[in-house]
């Protein structure tokens, strides 16, 4: 079995820096606690070295709707 993270159906995941997180929270007027979660054991973030509390940006590309973004906060299972 190959690396699932490089499969074309797996969207891009990246850990946001502090500045980007601050801008995100201000733009949408939310707190980190209000963001959806992603577990630290999720295979899609295994190579990111994400820590509990980090915010992950997920970039999905579609020929129909273009590019969309989702944001998740890393938490323990």
pLDDT tens per residue across span 15-38:
999 999 999 999 999 999 999 999
Rounded to whole angstroms, the Cα distance separating 67 from 15 reads: 18
Where residue 48 falls (left for φ over 0; alpha for ψ -120 to 50; beta otherwise) is alpha
Per DSSP, the chain holds a count of helices (H) and strands (E) of 1, 4
Domain ranges of the chain: 4-75
Rounded to whole angstroms, the Cα distance separating 46 from 26 reads: 28
pTM of the model: 0.88
pLDDT number for residue 47: 82
Q: CATH top-level class for 4-75? A: alpha beta
């Amino acid at each position: 079995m190959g690396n699932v993270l490089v499969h074309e159906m797996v969207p891009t995941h990246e850990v946001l820096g502090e500045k980007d997180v601050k801008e995100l929270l201000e733009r949408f007027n939310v707190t980190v606690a209000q963001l959806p979660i992603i577990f630290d054991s999720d295979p899609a973030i295994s190579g990111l070295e994400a820590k509990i509390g980090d915010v992950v940006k997920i970039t999905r590309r579609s020929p129909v709707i273009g590019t969309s973004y989702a944001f998740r906060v890393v938490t323990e299972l």
